[in-house]
Structure 1
Amino acid sequence: MTTDAEASHDPYTAPHFATSALITIDVQRDFLSEALYGVPGTTEILPALRRTVAAFRDAGRPVVHIVRLYEEGGGNADLVRRRLLESGARIVAPGSSGSELADGLLPEGAPLLDPALLLSGRPQRLGPYDHAVFKPRWGAFHRTCLEELLRDLGVDTLVFTGCNLPNCPRASIVQASERDFRVALVRDAVSRVTESALSELAGIGVELLEADTLGRVLGTRV
């Protein structure tokens, strides 16, 4: 198994923060802890996540918010979610308040999400450094424009945060590794973290960070 220290010095996996982007996964109001179908622990990570987002913006680095938009009936959702959505549950429905990103994650003056644009497979610009991308499945690269957007931005390192590590962040991290991106995870800015999951991710070359260290590694203050 690769240790944190070994990963930091491995020339093939060590993050290049000068060419990095922050990826937030599914940090939408309907997935917050207190929501009807929310994910426990997600509201609780928001302070660390806000500091992380601020550090990337202060460093002039891209922030890409990956979002879900479940159409009525769930036809564009993962199979395991379709029965619930077919029953009439409305979760991150396009254009709903619950589909919007959690408070404090977007820059001042950012527009609301544009469901038509996002569902068409195109990215939405939300600010000088911020973008949104819709994903139809667990992984952020599956049938999305994410890789093209990141390559256009000159990014080779991805720092992951967000909702529900066992599902979408983990799937996205594996997909990023398969595409030869250098990968890091902010462990206090992702929900449903376990030590065993962190050990497994470190074993595939993922750098494990804390939100309060990002100002130093990005050359900014948090």
Structure 2
Amino acid sequence: MSDTLDPRRCALLTINVQNDFTRNDSLHAMPGTDELVPVMGSVVDGFRALRLPIVHMVRLYHADGSNAEITRRSLIAAGMPVVRPGTEGSEVRSELQPPDGFLLDHEALLEGKAQPVAAREWVMYKPRWGAFYETGLAGHLHGLDVDTVAVIGTNFPNCPRTTIYEASERDFHVVVVSDAISRIYPRGLDECAGIGARVSTSDRLLEWLRAAR
């Protein structure tokens, strides 16, 4: 990890680690994600133990598809019940939750509010692929004096990759946690490195964070 980054100013973004997208018994699961959830959980636990900020970014689709991206709107409206507010499938995986757990406050999230779920830990709703698009995430992170984000989560080609590029566009340093993002591949990692993102394994990231304590 670069000496130019300050580990005390790092936050963790978890992307779409929800039951519908990750559990192998879900019709909408992204291949290979369930197997990585324990690694994702270890990263979350590491940040939590160090009292570093964590933001869980989630998708929520109204039954009529009205808040879905255009490529999925008709499928949702036709009855595809994925991450529907109020369902178990929309909830964040229990492996990433604090000991007391939490349920999503769907109404508050859909209004754009950050839902606090533990000390220095929140959930936020994102209406499109990237975590920064039409959300208060950048302002929330700046308010915490964060200048670096580590990214883990579901389905690199879509939401994690978009989030990585959006974070870079907003002048955040970015750490791509290579063993805690599903459907990642070497060329994608090379392309992230090409825009200045740091690529790290979960173990190496946590070692770097702990060394600053």
Shared fold, TM over 0.5? yes
Offset at 1:16? 2.3
Q: Which residue of 2 aligns with 1:19?
A: 9
Q: Which residue of 2 aligns with 1:30?
A: 20
Find out whether 1:197 has 2:197 as its counterpart: no
Q: Secondary structure at the match of 2:38?
A: helix
Q: Secondary structure at the match of 1:126?
A: strand
Q: What is the aligned residue count?
A: 210
Q: Which runs of 5+ in 2 are unaligned?
A: none
- Distance across 2 between alignment mates of 1:59 and 1:214: 13
Contact 2:94 2:101 in 1 (8 A): no
Of the three residues 118, 125, 128, the one matched with 2:116 is 125
TM-score by length of 2: 0.95
Offset at 1:80? 0.8
Offset at 1:111? 2.4
Offset at 1:180? 0.3
Find out whether 1:188 has 2:165 as its counterpart: no
Of the three residues 141, 152, 169, the one matched with 1:178 is 169
TM-score by length of 1: 0.91
- Distance across 1 between alignment mates of 2:6 and 2:51: 14
Q: Which residue of 2 aligns with 1:4?
A: none
Q: Which residue of 1 aligns with 2:35?
A: 44
Q: Which residue of 1 aligns with 2:197?
A: 206
Q: Which residue of 2 aligns with 1:116?
A: 107
Q: Which runs of 5+ in 1 are unaligned?
A: 1-6
Contact 1:20 1:159 in 2 (8 A): yes
Offset at 1:8? 3.0
Offset at 1:215? 2.8
Of the three residues 57, 79, 88, the one matched with 1:97 is 88
Aligned residues: CA RMSD: 1.3
Offset at 1:33? 4.7
Structure number with greater CO (CA < 8 Å, separation at least 6) is 1
Give % identity: 43
